Amino acid sequence: MKGVRIFCLSFLLLCLVLSLSMRSPALSPDYVVAVAENTPVSGSFYPKNRPITIAIVPKSLDNPVFVDSMETSMQTAKELGVNLEWVGPFKVDPDLQVKIIEGLIWRKVDGIAISTSDPEKIRKVIDKAVAAGIKVATIDADCPGSKRLFYCGTDNYKAGWACGEAMVKIVTERGLAHKRLRTAILTGGIEAHNLNERIRGFQEAVAGKLDLEYVALLACDDDTTTGAKMVEAYIKEHPETDLFFFAGGWAFFGPTESMPLYQEWCNNGGIAVSMDTFYSVLQAAKKGFAQALVGQDFRKMGVLTVKYLVDAIQGKPVPMEYIDTGLELADESNFDQLLSEKKPWEMK
């Protein structure tokens, strides 16, 4: 009996010891991460003694209207011994444009020229860049109310006015001035200041002379293909439209074969006036897609923008805040002559 008792006791002890030993590795402290000292990400890309760097930010890269400007600006930069960067969103994207400009500010470029896609959004970043000591200009599309140094480009109001005058002339010639005419407008972006100026110029030029009913405002986001498609679609729906004002030549940058309905509309007496006098636009106009064209001088824009921006960076005064690069008028009388002077883009 005694043996049994001893056995019992030792058995219980064994159990106790086992249970305790199983419990012991508990009680862990909370998870702790040692925090390292703050090592800031290095900021600048360029050494201090780098050449002057200016950047031109178009509304988008895929818009061929800027090709001439890019070409001349690069040539001018090369002549002046400065670095020129051509940066922008591939397609029109105001937000990305803002981001790109911010990147430029962060990179501390010396000067920036912007083709403003949305003045409301760009204005702040222009002011930020100016505050950072960067010389900022606008090119092609202005950003009114911002602290930009100057604007270099077409006087869009004047260009619109010219388009209006051309329209009045054609309509009057066709004896339709007394008639109320349904008018559609194609623009690039509803917020684009330069385009809106053109539309305003156009409307104010025809006011009192023609009785126009504005039936549609189409926006193609500066896209060539989209522009053509929108026009074609609109004409399909509304063949009764009388007039078409193109605030930019996007619809005619591509092959005209994609617009058979529009072509038919033109043949049936539709009247169209368009901005831009690029090679392809001239070709289209010659085919009857537009009766009058008003062109801008993008080559001059590139040259002047770089020149004055470098001046400003080097501390030289800029002659005026508004640098008008002039207009080019075209109608049936000089289509062939202009076509012979210009060369196609040949980008695709």
Q: Where along the sequence are the contacts to another protein (CB under 8 A)?
A: 1, 4, 7-8, 11, 14-15, 18-19, 22-23, 25-26, 28-29, 31-37, 39, 41-42, 45-47, 50, 53, 55, 61-62, 64, 67, 70-71, 74-75, 78, 83, 85-90, 99-100, 102-104, 106-107, 345-348
Cα end-to-end span (Å), the chain: 106
In whole angstroms, the minimum distance from the beta carbon of 80 to another protein comes to 14
What is the smallest separation between the CB atom of 256 and another protein, expressed in angstroms? 20
DSSP annotation of 207: B
Nearer to another protein, 76 or 263 (CB): 76
Closest of 219, 281, 286 to residue 253, by C-alpha: 281
Q: How far apart are CA 200 and CA 67, in angstroms?
A: 26
Q: Which helix (H) or strand (E) holds 80?
A: helix 67-80
Distance CA 51, CA 103 (A): 18
CB contact at 8 A, 199 and 181: no
Which one, 122 or 162, has the nearer CB to another protein? 122
Minimum CB distance to another protein, residue 171 (Å)? 37
Closer residue to another protein in complex, CB, 55/290: 55
Residue 70 vs 130, nearer CB to another protein: 70
Nearest CB to another protein, comparing residues 37 and 240: 37
Minimum distance, C-beta of residue 250 to another protein, in the bound complex (Å) = 16
- Give the up-direction half-sphere exposure of residue 152: CA atoms within 13 A in the CB hemisphere: 26
Q: Which is nearer to another protein, 31 or 267 (CB)?
A: 31
Nearer to another protein, 44 or 314 (CB): 44
- Nearest CA to 307 out of 65, 71, 72, 134 is that of 72
Taking the complex as a whole, the smallest distance from the CB of residue 9 to another protein amounts, in Å, to 12
Beta bridge partners of 322: 151
Are residues 307 and 29 in contact, defined by beta-carbon separation less than 8 angstroms?
no
Q: Which residues contact 342 (CB under 8 A, 6 or more apart)?
A: 277, 278, 279, 282
Q: How far is the CB of 88 from another protein (least distance, A)?
A: 6
Contact 218, 189 (CB under 8 A): no
Residue 178 is classified by DSSP as: T
Task: Work out the angle at residue 245's Cα, subtended by the Cα atoms of residues 239 and 250, and round it to the nearest 5 degrees.
Answer: 100
Q: How far is the CB of 318 from another protein (least distance, A)?
A: 24
